[in-house]
Chains A and B, each alone.
Chain A
Amino acid sequence: MSDDNRQKEFSRLIADLEQGDESSRRYAAEDLEYGGYREAVPYLAKALGDASVAVAEACASALANLGGPEVAEVLVGNLASEDVRLRNLSSEVLSRLGDVAVPALARQLQSLDRDVRKFAVDSLLAIRSDDSMKALVVALDDNDVNISATAADGLGEIGNSDHLEILAAYLDTEDEWMKCAVIRGITTIGGLKALRLVRHYLTSEEMVVRITCIQGIGKLHFPEAAAEMIQVLRGEDLGFFGGEMTSALDQITQALSPEQMAQLDLSGLAQPLSNLAKEGSTEHRLTAIDLIGRFKLEAAKDALVGLLGEADAELRERAILALGELPQADLEPYRVILSKPEGPLSEKEAALKVASKGTGPQVEALFLESLRQGDPQLVAAVLENLPESVNGPQLKQELARMIGHQQAEIRLAAAHALGRSEDSEMVSLLVAQLQQETEPDVKDAIDGALIQIGTRNVNSGVRAYVQSFTPEERAMALELYGFEDPLAHREKILAALGDEHPHLRVISFKVLANLEQLTYELIERGIADSDPAVQVEAVRGLGMMPTGPELSDFVKKYVEEGTARHERVDVELIQLLVQKGMDEAGVILRPFLHSPSDWVKIEAVEAYKTLGDVSVLDELKAMLDGAEEDLLEALEQAIYELE
């Protein structure tokens, strides 16, 4: 646009901004921003007081995005305005301006108007830069505690260990608010030194100071902080404070490594945590339960067993999880729960869940006993919670019986249990039931169980893959693995290489490669496939072939044949050459440097870098000319390393 036109456009936009209807005013603000009209700043600042909130917001965005110190200078006066919206929007823009606004804001810290100082501190905090931090230190001495406390708290958010000493100087303040803010600031910065500075406030007489300190130390994720917390927890019954300390201890210990946890002295915690698990706010109780589990506090086991009868499902669930962390040699408490005829089902389910984490004949006996009680609800619960591997013949027999049970929900639960067992002996039973099953839900569950069993062990990684197929593809894919010996299905697997679904062709390549049944002939066929995913898989198959002249001849011949292939195949070939570390890799790779595809070029360049082959240095340097961003980066790195 010529200067003249620009000037005209500017005048038009300003006229719109001042006199247009609401939409025109908004559009004008937006266009002034996008056109980069810095000379519009005073007009936009004035329009920040527009009667329409929407227009004012558009002007605020425009001012923030145009930026610059002149915006800050124009707006800083608005902080004293009685117009709440104007003041708030100005403050928002100042916060978004960054460093250029710091000098203007810093000056406002001397204002006699307390509100102005408070807004200036807020904006300085939002700017989060070295300059704004320097300005904030001044505000720590503000005689209004709301301002000094905001500064102290905020310095913690944006400051670093250099600010610890500065903040600590304010710890002996008489004012409990300021003290809280300083403690928060110090602990937010963190580190051992922070812990040393604030730890004795853990037992402060002032409630808010004490809580602030507990919460603050909860943010210090190292063993010394945990030890400090445990030390206090061991003391008398702490009530509400105990709950807060538990939460803090939970936060700290979650962040510790197993080695650090092992070093921690957890003695004396079982009793206070048992008490805290039993009463207090639900939030605190849950945390106490988790900690008992995580710290494996066997002495607190009784408290957890007692919680299995809780009406609140979440408390129950978490007690189950926590109990799962403790050794379960003694099953007696669960037997008692399970044999109470009038006990709530939820408690029994909880007991089953805990017991199922154990193994061995005793656990199986407990489940068998419960199955035989005959109450259908309990039976379904037993089946849903059965341990993963069932070995005892009696329990197996009982389980097999259940898949034909007259109640659909029990058949459903049995199908889930059989699926989890991954027991191939059950396949014929499941297939037979599948043929006569009438309930769609149960059918799905049996189908799922068959997938689980069929893809167990070696093939477990394939499960998610198979599940993403259509049902038709899935049935065929499952057949490929076979339930027993996949080698016996070789013919079928080979036949699947010609399947119409590319997924299945890929799978058969994977299976053949894993069975070491691939041949060069098959690979050639795969590379000629119409689908790139299959081509890629075929090249990956080459990786399974023994290194030697046959492999290099195959690859060489392949590379020489031309460039009509899909670039992904080239990429895969390049990676194969590097991975196999073949002698002639450098030579074979050469043509790829001149591929029409940047992707292939990059891979080739990186391959040379990995191989440490300096013979191509000159060629790489020649390629620098006219290379696009990604290729350029790869070239520069390779050249740097090779030199």
Chain B
Amino acid sequence: MSKRVLVIDDSPIVRNLHTVMMKSAGFSVDEAENGYDALEKALQANYDLMIVDINMPKMDGFTFCREIRASQVHKDVPIIIVSTEAEAEDKMQGFQAGANLYLVKPVKAEQLVENAKMLLG
């Protein structure tokens, strides 16, 4: 069974590109358009990895990470934040919220896939 990834971003183009990158590496991918949507999906299915944006309507990426870490099902799932925010402060906040890795947009396909594989061991 291929590993299941949840790609969360409010921008359709970013979502699509991240999806394509992961699919081309053999992952199976679901998409969510904001933190709340993602949380609904994540609480109903099992994911091996999540790729999350920060600035999103309804629920932002930091809140999403905290909610996921507080949940039973996904408290240990690897989370990659991919954000336009490049400040050290934002990165700190991301790690504190529970992310495992912080990448700055835009990311290259190889970069995303390699990091995903690394996190999945």
Chain A residues within 8 Å of B, Cβ to Cβ: 84, 88, 91-92, 114-115, 118, 122, 144-146, 149-150, 153, 175-177, 180-181, 184, 207-208, 211-212, 215, 240, 281
Are the C-beta atoms of A207 and B24 separated by less than 8 Å? yes
Q: How far is the CB of B114 from chain A (nearest CB, A)?
A: 13
Given known A149-B13, A208-B21, contact A88–B58 (CB-CB < 8 A): yes
Are the C-beta atoms of B84 and A118 separated by less than 8 Å? yes
Task: Kindly list the 3 A-B residue pairs having the minimum CB-CB distance in the complex, ordered from nearest.
Answer: A177-B106, A153-B13, A88-B57
Q: How far is the CB of A75 from chain B (nearest CB, A)?
A: 14
Are the C-beta atoms of B84 and A146 separated by less than 8 Å? yes
Chain B, residue nearest A156 (CB) = B13
Chain B residues within 8 Å of A, Cβ to Cβ: 10-14, 16-17, 20-21, 23-24, 55, 57-58, 60, 63, 84, 105-106, 108-109
Are the C-beta atoms of B12 and A144 separated by less than 8 Å? no
Chain B, residue nearest A91 (CB) = B57
Chain A, residue nearest B108 (CB) = A176
Chain A, residue nearest B10 (CB) = A122
Are the C-beta atoms of B55 and A212 separated by less than 8 Å? no
How far, in angstroms, from A149 to B17 measured CA to CA in the complex? 12
How many residue pairs, one in A and one in B, have C-beta atoms under 8 Å apart?
55
Q: How far is the CB of B96 from chain A (nearest CB, A)?
A: 16
Known: A114-B84, A149-B106, A184-B16. 13 other contacts (CB 8 A): A84-B60, A92-B57, A115-B55, A146-B84, A149-B13, A184-B13, A207-B20, A207-B24, A207-B109, A208-B109, A212-B16, A240-B23, A240-B24
Given known A84-B60, A88-B57, A208-B17, contact A175–B106 (CB-CB < 8 A): yes
- Chain A residues contacting B55 (CB-CB under 8 Å) are 115, 118
- Chain A residues contacting B63 (CB-CB under 8 Å) are 84
How far, in angstroms, from A115 to B90 measured CA to CA in the complex? 13
Given known A145-B106, A146-B106, contact A211–B20 (CB-CB < 8 A): yes
Q: How far is the CB of A373 from chain B (nearest CB, A)?
A: 37
Question: 12 A-B pairs, CB-CB below 8 angstroms?
Answer: A88-B60, A115-B55, A118-B84, A122-B10, A146-B14, A146-B105, A149-B106, A150-B13, A207-B20, A207-B109, A208-B21, A215-B16
Are the C-beta atoms of A180 and B57 separated by less than 8 Å? no
- Chain B residues contacting A180 (CB-CB under 8 Å) are 13, 17
Q: How far is the CB of A600 from chain B (nearest CB, A)?
A: 52
- Chain B residues contacting A122 (CB-CB under 8 Å) are 10
- Chain A residues contacting B24 (CB-CB under 8 Å) are 207, 211, 240
Are the C-beta atoms of A150 and B11 separated by less than 8 Å? yes
Are the C-beta atoms of B84 and A144 separated by less than 8 Å? yes
- Chain B residues contacting A181 (CB-CB under 8 Å) are 13
Are the C-beta atoms of B20 and A212 separated by less than 8 Å? yes
How far, in angstroms, from A115 to B14 measured CA to CA in the complex? 16
How far, in angstroms, from A514 to B37 measured CA to CA in the complex? 58
- Chain B residues contacting A240 (CB-CB under 8 Å) are 23-24
- Chain A residues contacting B13 (CB-CB under 8 Å) are 149-150, 153, 180-181, 184
Are the C-beta atoms of A208 and B84 separated by less than 8 Å? no
How far, in angstroms, from A114 to B90 measured CA to CA in the complex? 14
How far, in angstroms, from A150 to B15 measured CA to CA in the complex? 12
How far, in angstroms, from A118 to B14 measured CA to CA in the complex? 14
Chain B, residue nearest A239 (CB) = B24
How far, in angstroms, from A207 to B19 measured CA to CA in the complex? 13
How far, in angstroms, from A208 to B108 measured CA to CA in the complex? 9
- Chain A residues contacting B23 (CB-CB under 8 Å) are 240, 281
Chain A, residue nearest B55 (CB) = A115
Q: How far is the CB of A203 from chain B (nearest CB, A)?
A: 16
- Most chain A C-beta atoms within 10 Å of own C-beta, residue among B13, B57, B105: B13
- Chain B residues contacting A88 (CB-CB under 8 Å) are 57-58, 60
How far, in angstroms, from A507 to B106 measured CA to CA in the complex? 69
Q: How far is the CB of A215 from chain B (nearest CB, A)?
A: 8
Chain A, residue nearest B11 (CB) = A150
- Chain B residues contacting A115 (CB-CB under 8 Å) are 55
- Chain B residues contacting A177 (CB-CB under 8 Å) are 17, 106
How far, in angstroms, from A145 to B60 measured CA to CA in the complex? 21
How far, in angstroms, from A91 to B108 measured CA to CA in the complex? 29
- Chain A residues contacting B12 (CB-CB under 8 Å) are 153
- Chain A residues contacting B108 (CB-CB under 8 Å) are 176
How far, in angstroms, from A520 to B23 measured CA to CA in the complex? 72
- Chain A residues contacting B10 (CB-CB under 8 Å) are 122
Chain B, residue nearest A157 (CB) = B12
How far, in angstroms, from A180 to B23 measured CA to CA in the complex? 17
- Chain A residues contacting B21 (CB-CB under 8 Å) are 207-208
Q: How far is the CB of A276 from chain B (nearest CB, A)?
A: 15
- Chain B residues contacting A281 (CB-CB under 8 Å) are 23
Q: How far is the CB of A121 from chain B (nearest CB, A)?
A: 10
Chain A, residue nearest B113 (CB) = A207
Q: How far is the CB of A206 from chain B (nearest CB, A)?
A: 8
Chain B, residue nearest A146 (CB) = B84
Chain B, residue nearest A185 (CB) = B13
Q: How far is the CB of B58 from chain A (nearest CB, A)?
A: 7
Chain B, residue nearest A88 (CB) = B57
Chain B, residue nearest A121 (CB) = B11
- Chain A residues contacting B11 (CB-CB under 8 Å) are 146, 150, 153
How far, in angstroms, from A118 to B11 measured CA to CA in the complex? 11
- Most chain A C-beta atoms within 10 Å of own C-beta, residue among B11, B21, B63: B11
- Chain B residues contacting A146 (CB-CB under 8 Å) are 11, 14, 84, 105-106
How far, in angstroms, from A146 to B63 measured CA to CA in the complex? 22
How far, in angstroms, from A180 to B108 measured CA to CA in the complex? 12
Given known A118-B84, A149-B13, A184-B13, contact A208–B20 (CB-CB < 8 A): yes
Q: How far is the CB of A175 from chain B (nearest CB, A)?
A: 7
How far, in angstroms, from A211 to B11 measured CA to CA in the complex? 18
How far, in angstroms, from A208 to B12 measured CA to CA in the complex? 14
How far, in angstroms, from A426 to B23 measured CA to CA in the complex? 55
How far, in angstroms, from A84 to B108 measured CA to CA in the complex? 28
How far, in angstroms, from A215 to B20 measured CA to CA in the complex? 10
- Chain B residues contacting A175 (CB-CB under 8 Å) are 106
- Chain B residues contacting A211 (CB-CB under 8 Å) are 20, 24
Q: How far is the CB of A363 from chain B (nearest CB, A)?
A: 40
